[in-house]
Amino acid sequence: MNNSLKNKDLIQIQLNLNRIILYVLIFCLAAEAVIFFLDIFLNIAELWYMEKFKRFSNVAMESSFGTWFSVVQNFIVGITALIISMHYRFISKNRGGFICWLLTALFFAYISLDDHLVLHERMGGSITVFAGWLFGKNITLPTYGWLFLFGPLFGAFGIFFLVFMYRELRTRKFRLILITGLFLWGAAVLLDAWDGMGHSYEWIVNGTGLKKIYIRHCFMLFEEMLEMLGSTLFLYLFLSKFKLLTAP
């Protein structure tokens, strides 16, 4: 009798976790839709002008709601990975899984901190200065300096993350979501690299009649949205993994 009640309680917990995961996914996607359309309407279409609110909705600015959302979301992704790592350490007694999930937690914690403090942009500027000092002349990099410092590190983590998570996720659905999330993050980096090349966007200006400042803002907006969507997919995967670990 007691075992039967315990099993029913565990099943109920699993059902509640399913609802929580679904609600979290819907909330994140809804918040990102609001962030996207507010930015479009206020900073590109300029349907309503109010300077403080316009700056607050501008995803390209670090003081915007979009940046705050990205910081919080990546922090939660990191905390979820940390909880899973603790499960592997103390319950599953799987040292390899513990180390891999801990590294994943630390990475997303760094991404959250980076979004808040703009670390990679600040350090990227130092790369250009250092290169000029090293070679004794002014160096013009083909794109943003941070890509030369962080690009290989992010690429290495991406390979590790893909291999590790592909083994962790047993279903085709979850593996497809993983690949999609990594693709979104990769596309965001490529858009940032494209923007750093200093393109004139003349062919888009001539084709659309929009000002260059609006076109460049669209590229920056899409880059940030791709990163946020990728993080949402990773959060969904991590929560789903936690649910599977706690299944009866």
Q: What is the largest CA-CA distance in the chain?
A: 80
Contacts of 89 (CB under 8 A, 6+ apart): 95, 98
Contacts of 85 (CB under 8 A, 6+ apart): 97, 98, 99, 100, 101, 102, 104, 105
Amino acid at the residue 142:
P
Torsion over CA: 171, 177, 180, 185 (sign): negative
- In this structure, what token pair is assigned to residue 32? 């990102």
Local confidence pLDDT in tens for the 248 residues of the chain: 455 545 555 556 666 889 999 999 999 999 999 999 999 888 876 666 666 677 788 888 777 999 999 999 999 999 999 999 999 999 999 999 999 999 999 999 999 999 888 887 777 666 666 666 666 566 677 888 888 888 999 999 999 999 999 999 989 999 999 999 999 999 999 999 988 887 767 777 777 777 788 888 888 999 999 999 999 999 999 999 999 998 76
Q: Decide if 142 contacts 197 (C-beta within 8 A).
A: yes
Number of domains in the chain: 1
Q: Could you tell me the residue range of the domain that residue 75 belongs to?
A: 2-245
Determine the Cα–Cα distance for residues 54 and 49; give it in Å rounded to an integer: 7
Contacts of 168 (CB under 8 A, 6+ apart): 97, 241
Burial of 145 (C-beta count, 10 Å sphere; 0-12/13-18/19+): buried
Picking from 108, 100, 236, the residue whose alpha carbon sits closest to that of residue 177 is: 236
Contacts of 57 (CB under 8 A, 6+ apart): 35, 38, 39, 42, 43, 64, 65, 66
pTM to 2 decimal places = 0.90
The predicted-structure confidence for 139-163, as pLDDT tens digits, reads as follows 677 888 888 888 999 999 999 999 9
Burial of 89 (C-beta count, 10 Å sphere; 0-12/13-18/19+): middle
